[in-house]
């Protein structure tokens, strides 16, 4: 089973002058070929390049256990909430 979890409160970070962004979220998934479970940490090296809001996009998760590459479809959504007027 695959899921994306928001790990904690954290900043969205833009890396230097590039179009790479880090988000406080982790993708947890198990390889459909061998069953080994892995994570992709979007706050670490698994940043998103040129992220677009509300448009599905695909990433590939590589399994170091069996060398399988599994495409995963994600969508970035942003919620802005009024806390106080
Ligand atoms: Zn595998």
In tens, the pLDDT along 15-62 reads 877 888 998 888 888 999 999 998 898 888 888 888 889 999 999 999
pLDDT at residue 31, as a whole number: 92
pLDDT at residue 7, as a whole number: 64
DSSP states along 12-61: -EE-TTSSEEE-SEEEEEE-TTT--EEEEETTTT--EES--BT--EEEEE
CA 1 / ligand 1 centre spacing (Å): 13
CA 30 / ligand 1 centre spacing (Å): 8
pLDDT at residue 45, as a whole number: 87
CA 85 / ligand 1 centre spacing (Å): 50
Please check whether residue 61 is in contact with residue 74, taking contact to mean a CB–CB distance below 8 angstroms: no
pLDDT at residue 6, as a whole number: 65
Task: Count Cβ atoms below 10 Å from residue 20 Cβ, excluding itself.
Answer: 14
């Amino acid at each position: 089973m695959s899921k994306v979890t928001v790990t904690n409160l954290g900043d969205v970070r833009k890396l230097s002058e590039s179009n790479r962004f880090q988000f406080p979220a982790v993708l947890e998934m198990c390889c459909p070929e061998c069953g080994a479970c892995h994570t992709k940490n979007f706050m670490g090296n698994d940043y998103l390049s040129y992220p677009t809001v509300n448009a599905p996009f695909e990433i590939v998760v590589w399994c170091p256990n069996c060398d399988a590459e599994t495409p995963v479809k994600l969508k970035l959504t942003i919620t802005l909430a009024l806390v106080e007027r």
